[in-house]
Structure 1
Amino acid sequence: MDQQLEQHVTGEPGAGAPVPARALELLRRADAELLAAQFSSEPWEQLSHAHLAALRAGAAVVAARGTPSGRRAPRTVWSMLGVVAPELGSWSTYFAEAASLRSAVDAGRFELVGPERAEEAVCAAEDFVDAVRDLVHGGVDAVAGRTLRMRVPQAS
């Protein structure tokens, strides 16, 4: 079996530690949300699915690296991500700031999301899920080189 295919199937990078099954499941769910975002016809649906994809990807990192503990431990995925994967800090900030828009959409405020904002959310989520997959499978070095090339969109 080809090494890349083996890594995808088993979740194990060539020489690294195995990836927890929960992290792999969350990455699969993130991929499913991205697919739903790409095939949604309404901008608000695209944004909602994109944000959920990013949320699941962030949770995959937390599942792979461990949940912060203690009395003052962060409670949201975005806050936990800032603790367990500071190299993804700009992404966690972006999606944390977008959470209020997704909440408004969930409450029925569909008019708040236009096609441009939806496209930005989908593109950002795709890039973030890719960065998370690199991090989970390849470690910090894989993401460090990648994040320098990625443009993290400004929250709007």
Structure 2
Amino acid sequence: MSIAVASRAEEQQPSLPFPVRPPAAPAATALLADARRGIAEARHAAQPAPRFIAAYLAALRAGAAVLAASGRPHRGRARPASVWVLLEAAAPELSEWTAYFAAHSAARAAAQAGNTRRVTAARADELLSQSALFVELARDFVHGRPSGQPSRVRQCDAPPTLGKAPRR
């Protein structure tokens, strides 16, 4: 039996051009795939309510993928919390996104219950657009990107602010 010994020449091999990251958690990868399918479903929905619901659920799955990749924050015996609350604690840099989607939670629940009067075509289209951006952002968050490669979602692509503009 022979034993291979590494030579000093092999120790000086150049490193890869980007940092090696461990593979994403299988649950995170599966949730991202579900989120992408949800975006496709929303794009094909003819009516605003199904488009709104599918877009919201796609963003919800993308948020869950980020949690699966980063590890859910320890909450002990605390009451159950929404993905948006947990995500804000786990990834504070996504707080604008979590506030945006949390603000649409009640409308999504109402639409799923059959009350669709709050869901207009414009609102469904806006949520779909923002959800698609968030899914791509979650993909970058979960899988990372080679160093030097910019994110596919620009920093200025934060969701629109909610509520009224401040008085001057």
- Tell me the TM-score normalized by structure 1: 0.83
Structure 2 CA distance for partners of 1:116 and 1:82, relative to 1, 3 Å: same
Match of 2:5 in 1: none
SS at match of 2:98: helix
1:78-100 superposed Cα distances (whole Å, 9 cap, x missing partner): 01100111111110111011000
Identity among equivalent positions (%) equals: 36
Say whether 1:89 aligns with 2:86.
Answer: no
Offset of 1:111 from its aligned partner? 2.2
Contact 1:98/1:155, CA 8 A, preserved across alignment: no
Structure number with bigger Rg: 2
4+ runs of 1 displaced by more than 4 Å?
Answer: 141-147
Unaligned runs of 5+ residues in structure 1 are 1-12
**How many residues are aligned here?**
143
Say whether 1:125 aligns with 2:131.
Answer: yes
1:121-146 superposed Cα distances (whole Å, 9 cap, x missing partner): 0001000001110111117x989894
Match of 2:48 in 1: 43
Unaligned runs of 5+ residues in structure 2 are 1-17, 164-168
Offset of 1:31 from its aligned partner? 0.6
2:155 aligned residue (145, 148, 151): 148
SS at match of 2:33: helix
1:50-102 superposed Cα distances (whole Å, 9 cap, x missing partner): 00000000000110111112234762110110011111111011101100000
Match of 1:63 in 2: 68
- Tell me the TM-score normalized by structure 2: 0.77
Distance 1:48 1:117 in 2: 11
Say whether 1:24 aligns with 2:32.
Answer: no
Flag the structure with higher helix content. Answer: 1
Contact 1:131/1:143, CA 8 A, preserved across alignment: no
